[in-house]
Amino acid sequence: MIQERYRFWLTSPYFDEDTRSEVAAINDEKEIEDRFYTDLEFGTGGLRGVLGAGTNRMNIYVIRKATQGLADLILEGEEAGKNRGVVIAYDSRRFSDRFAKEAALVLAGNGIKAYLFDDLRPTPELSFAVRHLKAQAGLVITASHNPKEYNGYKVYWEDGGQVPPDRADRILAHIKAHQAWDDILPLEEAEARAKGLLVEIGEEIDAVYLSKVKELALYPELSRAKGSNRSIVYTPLHGAGNVLVNRILTEMGYSVFTVPEQEKPDPEFTTVPYPNPEIPSTFDLARSYGKARNAQMLIATDPDADRLGMALRTPQGDYRQLTGNQVGTLLSYYLLTQKKRLGILPEQAVVIKTIASTDLADLLVKDLGARVENVLTGFKFIAEKEQEMEIQGSGDFQFGFEESYGYLAGHFVRDKDAVIASLLLAEAALYYQEKEGRSLLEVLEDIYGKYGYFIDDQISITLEGKAGKEQMEKMMVKLRETDVKSFGGIAVACIDDYELRKGRRMIAPFHSYELALPQSNVIRYSFQGGGFVMARPSGTEPKIKFYFNIRGVDPQRLQATLENVKKDLLELIKD
């Protein structure tokens, strides 16, 4: 099968000359195998992979086939779905604009209207646009914070959230049912425009979206009166956040300086090793400008502007980067306490977080009189839970976050949103400084003083290709076959296996229990007293990830405890 696919891509006139030349230049048998042994996997969020020719790579032909699968799903439904259409956005990565237009023209070829943004836009604005335009679905071309060699394709449904597993499975079934590659033909652009099947959108969506973001401000008058006193250095890391993050902060009254070397779109991401705001080195340029300008805060957004990283100035004049868990905890605290102070916190207030995110938030949110809902890893599950509560009237969503730098407030977006997060963080820092004389670092320290210190970390092991996938599976089998009593001397209270949807209590009274969350290849070890270790193969990258959340009363000793926990985990998964 591999050789058949290889020869087809090598010789068929359906593929353009550049593609056939790239295939012809492959001399290594292992690379041929890796490119053609399978189709690029369509997971719950869509596609993500290395750019290049082949069935297991990101290219216009894989984009066409995936889009045909989406079109088939839409055509299964009512006729109105075709007219409601699909909104398409893209970021600054290589071929993003071409992939976006290719998808639009495949949809048009199926008689489905496509709303295509006129330039790169943040992923959360795509989510908003789907809801605002009452579209049937949405697409965004992005590989988020992955290296420059990657691109991706994320699918959204009419609620503005990423397609849930059941719909993703149906799209995948349509893709698999469509065996041929060479019968998917995009409509000509001129014809698509003439028929009203390709419609360009832009500023009219930006204006409505930003007006909604502004409504989330709790103290807009304070921002407009005092915001210019706060100096913020911002880097969009060559991505899609630049225009809207700058607009929202500037229009609300804040003083923003954008790192000039990282301001413009650049698919090579030449100033950073990876365009990921979780990585400290992405703040190197922002840090130097921050010191020169005496800035209180540095913020960075990833290429599609759904994730946000933040660093705060310390009393010594340097900058301390906060983790996603710390930012999520601070924003949960700020929104709940200030809404309570203003008398606008609903009785059924809910914060939604993932099982990979800090247990500190559970303690804090419950103590502040709100409810915590924990969901599987991935922001789509936060959005699903928000929608479920909305339909059932079972809670009022206030905030959602995940440890990987994703945050959301409000009801008009159904994905993590760095534009919203940038405004809320700027306002929180301003409020505490102006009204309470405290920095966000001091607020965080007060939270630790009340609820205990929590530190978190992550080990991400990259395992490429078929062999890597098999190695990840072996690791998870070994974990499932081992009764772990402790990590780093901390007793394991419970082991939750989400693949089996079973949990076991490892300390007296011993018993088993059913897990309510959907099936997922995840094992979570909860510690007695709070904190956890969690193992999870990534659904979008060739990686297995291990999450650590450790609680203690002495911050000086916590780091050593964390290292011991990590050491025990790595020893456990060794061959």
**Residues 407/328, Cβ–Cβ less than 8 Å:** yes
CB–CB of 415/162 below 8 Å? yes
Exposed / middle / buried, residue 489 (Cβ in 10 Å: 0-12, 13-18, 19+): exposed
| Residue 486 CA, distance from chain mean position | 31
The conformation of residue 416, written as its DSSP 8-state character, comes to -
Q: Which of 92, 96, 127, 144 is catalytic?
A: 144
The arithmetic mean of pLDDT across residues 436-453, rounded, is: 97
Q: For all residues of the chain together, what is the average pLDDT? A: 96
Burial class (CB in 10 A: 0-12, 13-18, 19+), 507: exposed
Is residue 44 scored above 80 in pLDDT?
no
Q: Give the confidence band of 165 by pLDDT, cuts at 50, 70, 90.
A: confident
Q: Structural domains in the chain?
A: 38-200 (3.40.120.10), 209-322 (3.40.120.10), 325-451 (3.40.120.10), 453-573 (3.30.310.50)
Q: What is the dihedral of CA 434, 280, 259, 245, to 10 degrees?
A: -60
Q: Do residues 494 and 569 lie in contact, with contact meaning Cβ atoms separated by under 8 Å? A: no
What pLDDT does 164 receive? Answer: 83
Q: What pLDDT score was predicted for residue 230?
A: 87
pLDDT score, position 552: 93
Task: For residues 254-266, give the mean pLDDT.
Answer: 97
Residue 428: φ, ψ to 5°: -60, -45
Residue 541 has pLDDT above 80, yes or no: no
- pLDDT-derived band of residue 133, with 50, 70 and 90 as boundaries? very high
Nearest alpha-carbon partner for 269 in 321, 419, 290, 277:
277
479-502 per-position pLDDT tens digit: 999 999 999 999 999 999 999 999
- For the segment 75-101, what is each residue's pLDDT rounded down to a tens digit? 998 888 999 999 999 999 999 999 999
Rounded distance between C-alpha atoms, residue 477 and residue 188, angstroms: 50
- Which amino acid is residue 343, in one-letter code? G
Tell me the average pLDDT across 180-197. 96
pLDDT tens-digit series, residues 365-412: 999 999 999 999 999 999 999 999 999 999 999 999 999 999 999 999
pLDDT at 179 over 70: yes
Structure tokens at 95: 């071929």
CB proximity list for 70: less than 8 A, separation 6 or greater = 86, 107, 137, 139, 155, 171, 174
Cβ contact 244:219 at 8 Å = no
CB of 163 closer than 8 Å to CB of 117: no
CB-based contact 377:535 (threshold 8 Å)? no
Cβ neighbours around 356 below 10 Å, total: 24
What residue type is assigned to position 498 of the chain?
Answer: Y
Q: Note the pLDDT of residue 540.
A: 65
pLDDT band of residue 542 (cuts 50, 70, 90) is confident
pLDDT above 70: percentage of residues in the chain? 100
CB 250 within 8 A of CB 230: no
Nearest one of 31, 161, 106, 121 to 466, comparing CA atoms: 31
Cβ atoms of 430 and 338 closer than 8 Å: no
Count of alpha carbons within 13 angstroms of residue 555, beta-carbon side: 8
Query: CB–CB of 525/518 below 8 Å?
Result: no
- Give the separation between CA 287 and CA 270, rounded to whole angstroms: 17
Given this model, what pLDDT does residue 379 score? Answer: 93
What is the pLDDT at residue 529? 87
Question: Is residue 144 annotated as part of the catalytic site, yes or no?
Answer: yes
